[in-house]
Structure 1
Amino acid sequence: MTPKTETVDRIREKALWMRRTAFAMVHRAQLGHPGGDFSAIDILATLYFGVMRHDATRPDWAERDRFIMSKGHATGALYTALCAAGYFPEGWLQTYMQPRSKLNGHPNRNYLPGIETNTGPLGHGFPVATGIAIAGQLTGADYRTFVLTGDGEQQEGSNWEAAMTAGFRKLENLTLIIDRNRLQQGQSTEETSGMEPLDERYRAFGFEVAVVDGHDLGALLDVLSAAPKGRGKPLCVIANTVKGKGVSFMENQAKWHHGVPDDAQFAQAMKELV
């Protein structure tokens, strides 16, 4: 077995645990955004267990890579990744969305270790990540900055201000990942505000662009772990994903953007997520 195969197997195991656990959290709370959690989980599992330099025992370690969850509503994906990586005890997941819980509907760095910045209002994470990358560039630090946005989030103008700045400053330490599941709250992204050709738009802003299957763990590992030194520009990874990936009745269904399962649906999902 090759080192890459071992890494991919570890990521796959973590991603399955994250899906099962996140869905249980949403079922228990009867709140959440499971469709977007499931489209993003393979990306987060790859980052935390195959790509990023981080240490859960030292969440403020100066040399850590930075990750910003710009699509802040997908907390099921983020919290399970952080928990699996050792940032907080698994028992905390039982409190998801409960009053006074540290695990509320949007990530808050004042409550949980491993969260770089509060997110929730869409379009904020990418500009913050751009600023973090600029700081690294100015100080000569070698950390990388990763930011995950939704594709519907690309409709926010602040993203394009950030893209213009990142391209102009040639932030090779910055990786933007777009969760391209093509659905947002209510309908498809293209019915709401068409954004194609998304790859050409980011190239025009000075990005290197890679288009990958967002559920192909080997492909994700390759593109996200590639050394940025010498690239001379930021990287945009357009990850083609499936909303609700892994559960038959959720896949490609806009209603599961913020849908919650009843007991029968939960039982069916647990049978499928094996």
Structure 2
Amino acid sequence: MRITTIQRNRLQNFGRFVMNIPLMLVILVPLLYTVSISVMPADEIYSNHIFPTSVNFVNYIQAFVNPYYNFLRMILNSFIVSTVVMLGQMVTCSLAAFAFSFLEFRGKKLLFISVLATMMVPGEVTIIANYLTMAQWGWLDSYRALIFPYLTSAMGIFLLRQYYLTFAKELYEAAKLDGCSNLRFLLSIVLPLSRPALGALGAYVFLNTWNQYMWPLLVTNSSSYRTVQIGISMLYDVDAQSLGLMMAGVVIVIVPSLSIFVFMNKQLINGLMAGAVKG
């Protein structure tokens, strides 16, 4: 019996699905087990139970009402810091990428190479210098210390620059002949056409900032400015036996990350792949 093209495509899709099942299990099983522990009664956590005999949401309630810390405030701090850093990088990286893509000036290639070279410097190398700078400016234990060092990034500049290079130079030249300024050209033409790349950059920066631990722990001293990743460790410090409480905090924290991945998966892939074939 001859197999049609449609049947062949269906078989190939089914084969890919079957091959992805082991990978899906590797990713989902730890997540499901974390959720299981978070709703499991305390006496069952250390009794080798995989699934709870009864569902108990007391750990989620305690995560928000515990008097030793303000977990809800830490979640709000993470949202504020992640959102401001995301918007800041979208602005600064857009401006820098525009200059490297459309403008001509002396030392342009050397300056761009210098920007890319910073991507090879580990963050641990500069963390002490950044901390001393924040301390000298009197910005410790504030939103400014959490936000200011991350308002731009070489990765964001590179990503947007590669995307801008896909635009025809004639588009920019025609706009200049019509008297359009560089800023107006960026705001009216470039940015509206760059929504996939900007969306990918925004999601990437938001997740990176949301998951930061070392820098917020270093520059903050009070729960008024500490972020949610520090809050998770504090959940465990309150009661070393309350593993379920910490797992409930982990589930709460990963909800934004999973939401961004689920709802922006296609845009992330399209934005990161855009401009990959043109230098």
TM-score by length of 2: 0.25
Larger gyration radius, structure 1 or structure 2: 2
Q: Taking CA–CA contacts closer than 8 Å with sequence separation of 6 or more, which of the two structures ends up with the larger relative contact order? A: 2
* Higher fraction of helix: 2
* Higher fraction of strand: 1
TM-score by length of 1: 0.26
